[in-house]
Structure 1
Amino acid sequence: MVDMKWLKKLTKAERIDQAKVKMERVLDHFLYVIELHANNSFVVYSPTLASQIPASFAANAFEVFQRSMHQIEIVRLCAIWDSADVQKENISTVIELIDDSEIIEQLSDENLHYWSGKTASIGNPSTDPNLAGLEREAIAASERQFGSEQAAKAKTELRQAIADSRAIIASARLASAMNIRDKNLAHSLESTRREKHGPIQPMKYGDETELLKASIPIIERLYCWVSGKSFSVEDSCRIDQKNAEALWNGCTFNVLR
């Protein structure tokens, strides 16, 4: 069982501050996983490279390269979903920091106050002072309404992100990935603590892809409503995929042995 004593020592304001700082780093860590995954779509899951290498001494070296690329993606993805701790920069820690009704309310209010406090700006105001005043009031009212909608959306999506995160944390798929990470990749163990509590199903090729896909909407929602900034992970996926394609589709091997 994870020790959560560290969480009880923090005030609500400190929890929010920590969540904001950690969420910035979580996004950075996750974007690296996205980059790895884009490259592995060619190195591991495509015949683009493997089909060029016949049975040979060189094939042994290529298999090492494939395994290392695949394993580092698993390791880094597991780090994103590792257990919560004040020293860790991962989704689990952010979730524990914000999973509180008052904190969710405060994060929601930040969006309301941002839009309600904006000074109404008119691109082409009326020359009539009275009409210009009415225009400003209408724009301000529209922004307040939008702020209320965003505040409600923040609460809904934060709660959804927390629920989805806890579902992944409790999933057999994540347990399989974590187990292979702990047992064979990060350490060399006869058995893990998870295995002592019962059998763990073997991880399958592609499990890391499913975990990554399920993580994207969670990351985007948390970053939006905790950090107060929008970011499209899907856009980064497309850019990274094009970058990987530009490299690996232009790569040819001349096997010597």
Structure 2
Amino acid sequence: MIAPVHDKSKEAVFSRAEQNYVEQLRRRPVDERIDLAEQKVRGLWDYIIDVCKTHENNRVISRSDRLAGQVPASHAAHALKNLQRGLLHYEIIRLAALWDGPRADRLSIPTIIAIVADRPVLKALYRRRFLSRRIEEAKLADDLEEGAARAFVVRAPREARHTTRTGFHRDMRDGLALGIRTMNAKDRLAVAGFRDRNIAHNLALDPVSLRLAQVDRLLRTTTVVGNGLYGMILRSGFAIEDSRRYARRCTESLWGNCTMGAIDY
């Protein structure tokens, strides 16, 4: 059995245009929706990794004194401040975009959730995952001796169902349930509000505040949700921690070898 993803009281609130897109999706064949979800979740990870790379650069440029400690009060300090603000704003813009509402031309988490958060699609994804595992086990059985192969074939279906169900429910929890909660979460709304009101538009309104801790929490949640969706749809995990370590290594390689010359104006 596939457990319900969420209850009605925890559904994300979409605009009328976004809701129309969701309703159009529901009328498309299940296999077509799965193909679309596969395309979008692969593309989504390029953007998640880009945000992680920017986050690592911000860790040095905007959140430490690695560069700021080398720049005295001078004209150069104004340029550095502008660089810090611009890079931090870019991280916020790209992170917020990962959570923009569902639309046909968007690679966002809510768009992917809108595609797959429907019982017929979830059942089809589960069947694909189970079939994929059985195919792998059949290949393994071919390599065993006859007696061991017979015992394996008898035992495997029950274990395969349990393992597949456990893994699928874990990915649903991380990808769908957490993703839907995050759409309405304070951190997500704060990041989106800061992007819309302080960066994206020149509004004659008081700016809203945003804490860096909110950005950090949303980025961590984004990687968990993205990994859950990736596993649920493509039946494998994404090596996000390896990607983040590589991004940090690249950042350290650049800024660790960057030394300012004398600044006297």
TM-score, normalised with respect to structure 2: 0.84
Question: Which residue of 1 is the match for residue 99 of structure 2?
Answer: 81
Question: Which residue of 2 is the match for residue 71 of structure 1?
Answer: 89
Tell me the alpha carbon deviations over residues 41-68 of structure 1, each in whole angstroms, 9 at most, x when there is no partner.
1011111111111111100111111111
Shift of 1:235: 1.4
| 1: CA distance, partners of 2:251 / 2:175 | 30
Question: Which residue of 2 is the match for residue 128 of structure 1?
Answer: none
Tell me the alpha carbon deviations over residues 187-220 of structure 1, each in whole angstroms, 9 at most, x when there is no partner.
22235xxx9xxxx962112321111011111111
| 2: CA distance, partners of 1:120 / 1:134 | 16
Shift of 1:93: 0.5
Superposed counterparts of 1:87-236, under 5 Å? 87-118=105-136, 119-121=138-140, 132-141=145-154, 143-152=156-165, 153-191=167-205, 202-236=209-243
Question: Which residue of 2 is the match for residue 242 of structure 1?
Answer: 249
Contact conserved, 1:113 with 1:147, CA < 8 A, in 2? no
Residue type of the partner of 1:154? F
* Compared CA separation, residues 124 and 214, structure 1 to 2 (3 A): closer
| 2: CA distance, partners of 1:212 / 1:51 | 27
Contact conserved, 1:20 with 1:227, CA < 8 A, in 2? yes
Residue type of the partner of 2:246? I
SS in structure 2 of the partner of residue 206 of structure 1: helix
Shift of 1:16: 1.6
| 2: CA distance, partners of 1:224 / 1:57 | 50
Contact conserved, 2:37 with 2:112, CA < 8 A, in 1? yes
* Compared CA separation, residues 102 and 250, structure 1 to 2 (3 A): same
Residue type of the partner of 1:151? T
Counting matched residue pairs gives 244
Shift of 1:105: 1.7
Question: Which residue of 1 is the match for residue 67 of structure 2?
Answer: 49
SS in structure 2 of the partner of residue 117 of structure 1: helix
Gaps of 5+ in 2: 1-13
Gaps of 5+ in 1: 126-131
| 2: CA distance, partners of 1:91 / 1:140 | 39
Shift of 1:33: 0.5
Shift of 1:69: 0.8
| 2: CA distance, partners of 1:17 / 1:150 | 24
* Compared CA separation, residues 36 and 146, structure 1 to 2 (3 A): farther
Contact conserved, 1:115 with 1:143, CA < 8 A, in 2? no
| 1: CA distance, partners of 2:89 / 2:156 | 48
Residue type of the partner of 1:45? R
SS in structure 1 of the partner of residue 70 of structure 2: coil
Q: Identity of aligned pairs, percent?
A: 24
Tell me the alpha carbon deviations over residues 102-151 of structure 1, each in whole angstroms, 9 at most, x when there is no partner.
211211111111122333336975xxxxxx32222334445544532342
Contact conserved, 2:21 with 2:102, CA < 8 A, in 1? no
| 1: CA distance, partners of 2:158 / 2:208 | 50
| 2: CA distance, partners of 1:160 / 1:56 | 48
Moved more, 133-142 or 53-62: 133-142
Q: CA RMSD in A?
A: 2.2
